[in-house]
Structure 1
Amino acid sequence: MSIVKLLRITLCGMVAEKRTVLDRLQHLGCLHLNPLRTGEPGSETASNRPEAAYRALRYLGDAPVKRLQVRKDPDFDMDKVVAEVEENRLALIAAQHRQEELEVHIRLQAPWGDFKPPKADEIGGYKLWYYLVPIYQIDRISKDLVYEIVQRDNRYAYVVVIGKQPPASGQMPVPRSAVGHRSLSSLHHLLERNSQHIEELNFERHSLTRWIFLMSQHLARAEDQSALRHAADTSLEEDCLFVVQGWVAVPRLAAIQTFADQNHLALLTEEPTYEDRPPTLLSNPQALSGGEELVSFFQTPGYRDWDPSRVLFLSFALFFAMIMADAGYAMLLGVGLLAGWRRLGRSHGGRRLRHLVGATLGMAIGYGVLVGSYFGLTPAEGSLLSEMHRLDINDTDMMITIAVIIGVLHLMLANGLKAVYHWGHHSALVAVGWNIILLGGALLGSVKAEVLPVSLDAAGWSGMVIGALIVVFYGSSRPVHTLKDMLLRLLGGLYVFTNITKVFGDVLSYMRLFALGLASASLALTFNQLSNQVMEAMPGLGVLLGILILLLGHTLNLALAIMSGVVHGLRLNFIEFYNWGLSDEGYPFRAFEKKEIQHE
């Protein structure tokens, strides 16, 4: 659970060799560059991606079926292919919009019948005016109008008025309806031609997917060149010398020293000072590195703070498991993970994600076995699974107690790690004070719930008072020289102590683990009971309806469980845990390196 220690290094060499040195440094890929000067106006930066090309690559990557990839083509023209893909994408969007418009026109015009609306000069200057009149308002049509009811359903009459001018205000009970100038058959013909055009565009898109690999290669190289130009523009030049500066991880310092020797560069190594804000480089074992994805998703800790990756990895898995609360659902998701295991392993981020998802589903299966829920069903008495059923999710008091204890321990862990990593600073003692308050409150709650003996009641109150005194006294870092300073420091501490309501509110927030888990289990049970009732009430057809209810019901419940598990699992980590455990926000370590090219 560590943030890698960094050193600031400065490399100095001859300007004539700068481009070669920077290219080799990019191949080495271990330095986070610090710009020493502003780049030239109009120069590209590493963040300026060729958006049109990336948009084209995403568009081809989303194609449902892809062609065999072309891996070598000396005549490959990146700009030409991107232009063709963009043209196809825009044409397909326009055709799909046209398809929707034609379908709407057909649906609106179908009740009027298949006819071609006449022009004014075809019927002596008369025109047709169309009205959708509710049945109960037909009597309100003016008797002075010449009209015909061409269609009628249980709600509306489709009225066509003939006249040189539209009916005057008050002659019709409803506003005029819009009917196009094309016949229904011509609209169907246009719809058919547009469908064929969409099919042709999809064939063209399928054909263009053969360039995905070469496009990825060219994009990676284009980004590498952009980053290289940015590094050259932001390095410092003085007479015949150039200077490059950046941050490097201590374990990679030997590689930098070897690099400097091989390229005849001067090397200066410095420890970061208190005024410096180095980037944050997290380092975790491969099996737990998925926690880094969670950290980068919300907030990167500061360089002098601590790494919450492993805590987030384990706590997110636990919270997701408690919210899903069903081993059957978790096993079903596990099958999906195994199906996509190799695909996720093609990238570094994918490998991290599959470890996180695998651990989460493993814990969800274990928790589901403990609560004895398998798609809402409980195991038969006397079976092995029944013996492993140790938690009754319907026991409200017990489950609330478990959720609150988890909340107390989670927040105490946050404050404890904060105290360890900031020991010597007043904030560490404040964190200790909050932990004593949390422990005292937990003891009092357990005594009240008759979980612990009454004799511990005094210990709970003592902890609350001692913790409160620590928070009030160390809540402010104001130095004390006079009585006024003491009073101001105590006032500052009292202001910090007002967070007492927040700490207990955050603990109670963990009750959502029980509430959402119970809701998921109850929904699964309800769908099972509803399906059984339908099967018993309607023999034959009821079996089909019952199976349909099971499929739709459990699909809906699984989707809700996944959404709740992700949203609330992250929320308890990023809102409650982060609030008490981390005090500084940093920015991630971005290595100056060559882009990885995916080989599919």
Structure 2
Amino acid sequence: MKSLTIVGLKEEKQEVLDGLQTLGCLHLVSLSEKELAEALDVSDETREALQLLQNWHLKNTTPNPASQMSPKEIQERAHQTHSEIVQLQDELELLVERVGKLEPWGDFSFDSLENMGGLSLWFYLVPHHEVQKLEGAERVWQQVGKDSRHSYIVVVSAEEPMGVPGERQHLGGRSLAELRKREEEVRNSISELQLAGAELARELPVFQNHVHELQDISSLKRASKMSFTKGKFFGVLAWVPESEVEKVAAFVRERELVHIFRDPNEDEVPPTLFKNPPAWEVGESLIGFYMTPNYRLWDPSFIVLYSFAIFFAMILSDAGYGIVMAVLLAVLWKKLGKGNARFLCMLLTGSTIIWGMLVGSYFGVEPREHGLLEKMHMLDMGNMQSMMAISIVVGAVHIMLSNGVEVWRLRGRVKALAPVGWILTIASGLLAFLGGSIEMLGQLGLWGVGIGLGMVFLFSGAERDAKLVKRLGGGAMALTKITDMFGNVLSYLRLFALGIASAALAGAFNDLAIQAYEGVRGLGVVLALVILLIGHLLNFILAIMSGFIHGLRLNLIEFFNWSVREEGYAYRAFKKKSLNH
């Protein structure tokens, strides 16, 4: 990113902003906190109006061929109608509550204090067992109703009575009849406005044809608020991708605007712009669930995407479920469009089928014949020790990969030796773990762990111009992450646990179906099919949910913990949407 400052004459401000919007490559920055707040308060009225019209649009609604309304008028009418409906719905909710509260007391009207001789009515909910306490008191009262727990008591008194054993009720000044009448009026008004909204929805085709133009107008207003105007001049501050600098430079030179391009200062944080090949773009969306990496870090889209696919497959651990996913993908192929969703579904489906074949599970059934499926069956899900070891190895490699990227990012600096130390620590610990009873491997692993932690201690605080005390303090603080390291690696055991759980559930439902088939004469086949269908459907849904949640969690928490800790903000281009539609 390059920082761009533009200064021009005030009378040319709108023309320049319109031209910059046509270029469509600037990320505008507010020149004051106040202006930024005002700009962020500008809601996307066009998008909201479009959503309202779509909500009001009925299947049998026909477009209005003689429409005389402008898109701006349609937008304003939609917002006004929606606002009135919301106000009336709020009033209706309050009226329904008031009517429900007043109904047990009956329909009555309040008279004036003068006609009441200065007396007032006081209303109480008194528990049944407390009503007897009112008998001996010198006060005028009457029970007007009761429910399963309370008696409805009205006390007549000039001042609020003391010692009434119940909760006082505030019923307002309107009678039940008046409230019911107003409730009916409000319901009728809401119905009329909803009909008006349905009628306005006939203008939807007209509005859709101009929606991007209206959004461009709104975006231009926002840009005007974010620019700075003083005297005869205006100013614009923005971030520009390096690839777009020449195009922007040609624009500002052509209009003879004062402009400065410069590199970001160390204390500045430019917006983060992802640029990936099509096969990696969906990784950006996965990252967006959690955060936008800081501009000065790195783009984890590739690693997150493909490691997520591996984790997802390990959690499902069934090729049969992968085949179901393939069928669903074929059915929904057109609805998924040509975007990232289609590629992600293909990737998850393929990885699930491949891993399911490796562990030899097809709806919880292992292949027994000596064919292709048996040859593909290389891993034994029943061998818990080996499956746990695989999960830990996968976790260790994933965390080491994260540290490896950190080494590359810090290359050329002494501090890069700190993530090298973590890689050595994890790899050596893994060696000692896998070495088992081999004494030499165990000793080699312990030596590696010691050397790795020593590197972490010596180089984690190796900042530029840092004094010795600060460096040692930073190293000591870094060593506290050893518990995080163990915890993060062990977190990958969830791959093993969830995979085993999915396989166990599938097998359990298969066993239940066999028992039903063998134990129930006549209807055994039907009952077995129902058990298989419902059981595997439930297990499939649970496995899909676990795959998404925990597959992403291992990337966005455990993996990010080692190299993507600082959050940034996304690049938002100031551009005209109407040019692309």
Same fold per TM (> 0.5)? yes
Q: Residues 473, 573 of structure 1: CA spacing in aligned structure 2 closer, same or farther, 3 A cutoff?
A: same
In 2, the alpha carbon distance for the partners of 1:248 and 1:373 equals 52
Does the CA-based 8 Å contact 1:302-1:585 persist in structure 2?
Answer: yes
Query: What's the counterpart of residue 441 of structure 2?
Result: 456
Does the CA-based 8 Å contact 1:71-1:213 persist in structure 2?
Answer: no
**Aligned to 2:265, what secondary structure does the other structure show?**
coil
Query: What's the counterpart of residue 323 of structure 1?
Result: 315
C-alpha deviation, 1:58, in angstroms? 6.3
Given candidates 517, 535, 546, the residue that maps to 2:499 is 517
**Aligned to 2:293, what secondary structure does the other structure show?**
coil
Q: Deviations over 1:16-55 (max 9, x none)?
A: 22211211211211001122245669x9525622469627
Given candidates 265, 275, 279, the residue that maps to 2:257 is 265
In 2, the alpha carbon distance for the partners of 1:200 and 1:31 equals 45
C-alpha deviation, 1:377, in angstroms? 2.6
| Amino acid paired to 2:449 | M
Does the CA-based 8 Å contact 2:358-2:379 persist in structure 1?
Answer: yes
| Amino acid paired to 1:275 | D
C-alpha deviation, 1:581, in angstroms? 1.4
Identity over aligned residues, as a percent? Answer: 37
1:468 paired with 2:453, answer yes
1:314 paired with 2:296, answer no
**Aligned to 2:42, what secondary structure does the other structure show?**
coil
Q: Deviations over 1:180-233 (max 9, x none)?
A: xxxxxxxxxxxxxxxxxx999999988776555544555544432232122223
Q: Deviations over 1:319-363 (max 9, x none)?
A: 1111111222223233333443433437xxxx1233223212221
C-alpha deviation, 1:280, in angstroms? 1.0
In 2, the alpha carbon distance for the partners of 1:475 and 1:391 equals 40
1:587 paired with 2:581, answer no
C-alpha deviation, 1:545, in angstroms? 2.5
Given candidates 529, 532, 555, the residue that maps to 1:550 is 532
Q: Residues 561, 213 of structure 1: CA spacing in aligned structure 2 closer, same or farther, 3 A cutoff?
A: farther
How do 1:312-391 residues align onto structure 2 when only pairs under 5 Å count?
312-345=304-337, 351-391=339-379
Does the CA-based 8 Å contact 2:56-2:197 persist in structure 1?
Answer: no
Q: Residues 236, 51 of structure 1: CA spacing in aligned structure 2 closer, same or farther, 3 A cutoff?
A: closer
Superposed CA RMSD in Å reads: 4.4
Query: What's the counterpart of residue 447 of structure 1?
Result: 435
Where structure 2 has 5 or more consecutive residues not aligned to the other structure, the ranges are: 97-105, 108-141, 153-189
1:60 paired with 2:47, answer no
C-alpha deviation, 1:78, in angstroms? 2.6
| Amino acid paired to 2:553 | R
**Aligned to 2:8, what secondary structure does the other structure show?**
strand
In 1, the alpha carbon distance for the partners of 2:386 and 2:229 equals 69
Query: What's the counterpart of residue 285 of structure 2?
Result: 293
**Aligned to 1:545, what secondary structure does the other structure show?**
helix
1:28 paired with 2:23, answer yes
C-alpha deviation, 1:407, in angstroms? 0.4
Query: What's the counterpart of residue 185 of structure 1?
Result: none
Q: Residues 17, 59 of structure 1: CA spacing in aligned structure 2 closer, same or farther, 3 A cutoff?
A: closer
C-alpha deviation, 1:259, in angstroms? 2.1
Q: Residues 224, 56 of structure 1: CA spacing in aligned structure 2 closer, same or farther, 3 A cutoff?
A: closer
Given candidates 3, 12, 17, the residue that maps to 1:8 is 3
How do 1:455-534 residues align onto structure 2 when only pairs under 5 Å count?
455-477=440-462, 486=468, 489-534=471-516
Q: Residues 282, 389 of structure 1: CA spacing in aligned structure 2 closer, same or farther, 3 A cutoff?
A: same
Q: Residues 488, 53 of structure 1: CA spacing in aligned structure 2 closer, same or farther, 3 A cutoff?
A: closer
Equivalenced residue count is 512
In 1, the alpha carbon distance for the partners of 2:76 and 2:277 equals 41
Given candidates 397, 409, 420, the residue that maps to 1:409 is 397
Q: Residues 208, 318 of structure 1: CA spacing in aligned structure 2 closer, same or farther, 3 A cutoff?
A: farther
Q: Residues 447, 278 of structure 1: CA spacing in aligned structure 2 closer, same or farther, 3 A cutoff?
A: same
Moved more, 412-421 or 322-331: 322-331
| Amino acid paired to 2:69 | D
Q: Residues 545, 432 of structure 1: CA spacing in aligned structure 2 closer, same or farther, 3 A cutoff?
A: same
Given candidates 38, 42, 49, the residue that maps to 2:43 is 49
C-alpha deviation, 1:318, in angstroms? 0.9
In 1, the alpha carbon distance for the partners of 2:203 and 2:275 equals 36
In 1, the alpha carbon distance for the partners of 2:453 and 2:10 equals 62
Does the CA-based 8 Å contact 1:56-1:82 persist in structure 2?
Answer: no
Query: What's the counterpart of residue 146 of structure 1?
Result: none
1:392 paired with 2:392, answer no
C-alpha deviation, 1:585, in angstroms? 1.9
Moved more, 500-509 or 421-430: 421-430
Does the CA-based 8 Å contact 2:50-2:208 persist in structure 1?
Answer: no
Moved more, 13-22 or 212-221: 212-221
In 2, the alpha carbon distance for the partners of 1:410 and 1:81 equals 51
C-alpha deviation, 1:278, in angstroms? 1.0
Does the CA-based 8 Å contact 1:9-1:248 persist in structure 2?
Answer: yes
TM-score, structure 2 normalization: 0.75
Where structure 1 has 5 or more consecutive residues not aligned to the other structure, the ranges are: 1-5, 100-117, 120-163, 179-197
C-alpha deviation, 1:402, in angstroms? 0.8
**Aligned to 2:572, what secondary structure does the other structure show?**
coil
Given candidates 422, 427, 443, the residue that maps to 2:410 is 422
**Aligned to 2:559, what secondary structure does the other structure show?**
helix
Does the CA-based 8 Å contact 2:17-2:224 persist in structure 1?
Answer: yes
Q: Deviations over 1:255-293 (max 9, x none)?
A: 212322443434322111212211111111111101111
| Amino acid paired to 1:45 | A
**Aligned to 2:240, what secondary structure does the other structure show?**
strand
C-alpha deviation, 1:62, in angstroms? 9.9
Q: Residues 90, 55 of structure 1: CA spacing in aligned structure 2 closer, same or farther, 3 A cutoff?
A: farther
Query: What's the counterpart of residue 122 of structure 1?
Result: none
Given candidates 549, 562, 574, the residue that maps to 2:544 is 562
Does the CA-based 8 Å contact 1:46-1:227 persist in structure 2?
Answer: no
**Aligned to 1:283, what secondary structure does the other structure show?**
coil
Q: Deviations over 1:280-324 (max 9, x none)?
A: 111111111011112222121111111111111111111111111
Does the CA-based 8 Å contact 2:38-2:225 persist in structure 1?
Answer: no
| Amino acid paired to 1:471 | V
C-alpha deviation, 1:558, in angstroms? 1.4
In 1, the alpha carbon distance for the partners of 2:368 and 2:85 equals 58
Moved more, 28-37 or 87-96: 87-96
How do 1:147-166 residues align onto structure 2 when only pairs under 5 Å count?
none
Given candidates 240, 248, 257, the residue that maps to 1:248 is 240
C-alpha deviation, 1:13, in angstroms? 3.0
Q: Residues 200, 393 of structure 1: CA spacing in aligned structure 2 closer, same or farther, 3 A cutoff?
A: farther
